[in-house]
Amino acid sequence: MTTEFSVPEIFGSLVFDDATMKERLPKQTYKALKKTIQDGDVLDLNVANIVANAMKDWAVERGATHYTHWFQPMTGITAEKHDSFINPTDDGRVIMEFSGKELIKGEPDASSFPSGGIRATFEARGYTAWDPTSYAFIKDGTLCIPTAFCSYTGEVLDKKTPLLRSMERISDEAVRVLRLFGDEETTRVVTTVGPEQEYFLIDKELYEQRKDLIYTGRTLFGAKAPKGQELEDHYFGVIRPRVVEFMADLDRELWKLGILAKTKHNEVAPAQHELAPIFTTTNLATDHNQLTMEIMKKTAEKHGMVCLLHEKPFAGVNGSGKHNNWSISTNTGKNLLNPGKNPAENTQFLLFLAAVVKGVDEYQELLRISVASAGNDHRLGANEAPPAIISMFLGDELQAIIDSIVEGTKYSADDRRKMQLGSNVLPDFVKDTTDRNRTSPFAFTGNKFEFRSLGSALNIACPNVMLNTIVAEEISLFADELEKADDFDSAVKGLIKKAFTEHQRIIFNGDNYTDEWVAEAERRGLSNLRSTPEAFSRYLTDKNISLFEKHKVYTKKELNARYEIMLENYSKVINIEAETMLDMSKKDILPAVSAYVRELTDTALSKKTLSESIPCDVEIELAEKLSKLLSCFARKITALEEALIKAKDIEGVQALADFYQGTVFAAMSELRAVGDEMEVNVSSEYWPYPSYGDMLFSI
């Protein structure tokens, strides 16, 4: 395939980025805007007016006719309300205008978005506020302005605002510590993220024949195909031509929006793939990932396919996750999680590492909560993703350094790092200091941590809010102690030793998939929150509320709202899945199997009519087997219907979510088991839906 465009020329061509602002804004306006972006200064309305006009001119030149405040409500996806640039003139015509006031503030209806009780239905007013740290862009002929979203009474109703708050907190606390190490140059510290995105591609015509995929994003019925991922031949395998064309088109669209799409390959399951970007600041990475998921879906449709982002669209093969590669960097270009050539002597690195270890141990339940969803419950602990138990992998070298610190012994580096492959034509090279651990939920990978528990459809803001806040808390406590120390060197080494000594239980470098680890984790006192309702039952503890209030990331009211929203969402998702199963069962599967049984019976009768000597045992046995399964299937339908009726009488979001998880989902699983058993015994001519084999191997 030939490339008909220049990547450097199209990259960011639809983004009002720094280079564009520098070119189009007056020098003083550009400086004022940069100061707002870099230092958090309040933006003057006069400056905003100039920026808005330049932004509008740039967008109109590229065919835009409308603008929208693009925001991320608690639905987990994005929202936008489009307004045109037109304004009437006295002569009955129009001009294209866009003011600083329109740039800075919008007013969408807040009553129809999830608010967790913060807003009543009749209280409609809400506000969107421009986030100048995230560049405006053009999408589908509309100028999109990234914004925060809040209620009329000031509570945040979105994912972006808490993320920006948490980024400011970790920056403030990290700068305090850096000053103690003699760093006078750094004025700002940012967290960076590179989210790897997994997804499935299936044929659109097959998708449209599956009610479950249309309504829920996953298959609620489906017998395992004869071939799945057993041969491990799809992972990193040759990419099929149709998918190559999709990926090339996707890259091009992402590059236009300034999204650093870097790596693409086949994943483990058939029809599964992955895209990975280069890391960038966390708020930009969050915006970019939301755009990436949207553009994946749109691009797939252009190629006659559907992109599935559900965490577990197919049973029996791996589901999809999103690996959140998180690190901390200064505005002077230093990665604070880079061990350097001699990590054992790199006290600054060890202190920041100790803050992460301590934070993950003390707030492990928050990290588990941050990745909880009905979809992700299918993955965690299923030998395809990390377990629901949060632990950390540090690798051999860092583990040896920590052991030496805890035990007070001298660390000796292992110099056996040269890799020799035994052939003169192959190069010798220096291997990494440690192996990778793909079973760990939170693994150190050289100069960053890979938080592997995220589900593929998740908005990455929430996990990063948690990470930023818990690490900000630990750095703050370290700074409090070090600032009053008489002997800094002694105090910092003592802090590092204490943190590593008291929080070793969170570090596990072995296989997280084994039953032995589950037992060992319980012995260590680590939490194992297996489902979303169980995880959220630990959300509103005094400790968690105190953490977020101290750092002004969430108020107690905002935390309560999120608790209500997430559990309501869980119950609604399970309810939609259950209702879809009933619809499929009663309207499609029961009639199809009954018709096939009738054909078997008619065939057996016709054989007997022709001659008593013609055997019809096969038809009779299969008809009897399917008749028994049909009866069982009907009983399971009734059981699920009764469970849904009982759910209507349950009050309280926690109790309702617990019921859906323990009773409704269990009834769904039993109904599916019988349905899948019937599928493998019914002629494909009669079964009403495309099979797993059709969907996974048709592209």
Whole-number pLDDT of residue 232 = 81
Same-domain pairing of 615 and 536: no
The pLDDT of residue 285? 97
170 and 153 belong to one structural domain: no
Which pLDDT score, from 0 to 100, does residue 617 have?
81
Tell whether 498 and 616 lie within a shared domain: no
Residue 203 belongs to some domain of the structure = yes
- Out of 124, 158, 192, a domain closes at 158
- CA dist., res. 150 & res. 125, Å (int): 9
Task: Tell me how far apart the alpha carbons of residues 525 and 540 are, in angstroms, rounded to a whole number.
Answer: 20
Tally of structural domains, the chain: 3
What is the model's pLDDT at position 1? Answer: 46
Looking at the domain assignment, is residue 561 inside a domain? no
pLDDT tens sequence across 338-372: 999 899 999 999 999 999 999 999 999 999 999 99
Give backbone dihedrals phi and psi of 50, rounded to 5 degrees, phi first.
Answer: -65, -45
Among 107, 133, 158, which residue terminates a domain? 158
Report pLDDT for 435: 65
600 domain-assigned: yes
Number of Cβ within 10 Å of residue 611's Cβ equals 7
- Per-residue pLDDT tens for 306-318? 999 999 999 999 9
Looking up residue 108, the CATH number of its domain turns out to be 3.10.20.70
Q: Is residue 563 part of a domain?
A: no
- Spatial neighbors of 62 by CB under 8 A, at least 6 apart, are 14, 138
First-to-final CA distance of the chain:
18
Tokens encoding 111: 């009553």
Q: Is residue 19 part of a domain?
A: yes
Inter-residue contact 406 to 503 (CB < 8 Å): no
Is there a single domain that holds both residue 359 and residue 407? yes
Secondary structure letter of residue 458 according to DSSP: -
DSSP string across 282-308: HHHHHHHHHHHHHHHHHHHHHTTEEEE
pLDDT at residue number 416: 55
**Is there a single domain that holds both residue 452 and residue 336?**
yes
367 plus 466 within the same structural domain: yes
Domain CATH code at residue 575: 1.20.120.1560
Q: Which CATH number is 270's domain given?
A: 3.30.590.10
The verdict on residue 238 lying in a domain is: yes
d(CA 233, CA 215): 31
Tokens of 343: 């990590």
- Give yes or no: residues 548 and 588 share one domain: no
Give per-10-residue mean pLDDT for the chain (699 aa): 75 95 94 81 84 94 94 88 84 77 82 72 76 93 93 86 96 97 95 97 98 98 91 86 96 96 93 96 96 98 97 95 96 94 94 98 97 94 80 92 92 68 66 71 94 96 98 98 95 96 96 92 96 96 98 96 96 98 98 96 80 76 95 98 97 97 97 98 96 95
* Residue 676: per-residue pLDDT: 98
Asked if residue 311 and residue 188 are part of one domain, the reply reads: yes
Among 494, 524, 554, identify where a domain stops: 554
Task: Report yes or no: 384 and 453 within 8 Å, Cβ to Cβ.
Answer: no
User: Same structural domain for residues 154 and 62?
Assistant: yes
79-87 — which CB contacts under 8 Å span 24+ positions?
79/108, 79/113, 79/149, 80/142, 80/144, 81/106, 81/108, 82/142, 85/56, 85/60
Cα gap 308→228, rounded to integer Å = 17
Are 222 and 692 a contacting pair, CB within 8 Å?
Answer: yes
621 in a structural domain: yes
Looking at the structure, tell me whether residues 620 and 601 fall in a common domain: yes
Please report whether residue 419 resides in a domain: no
Amino acid 94: pLDDT:
64
Looking at the structure, tell me whether residues 580 and 527 fall in a common domain. Answer: no
For 24-45, b/e burial (b = at least 16 CB within 10 A) is bbeeebbebbbebbeeeeebee
Task: State the residue range of the domain holding 641.
Answer: 569-696
Residues 152 and 170 in one domain: no
Phi, psi of 373 (to 5 degrees): -165, 165
pLDDT of residue 76: 84
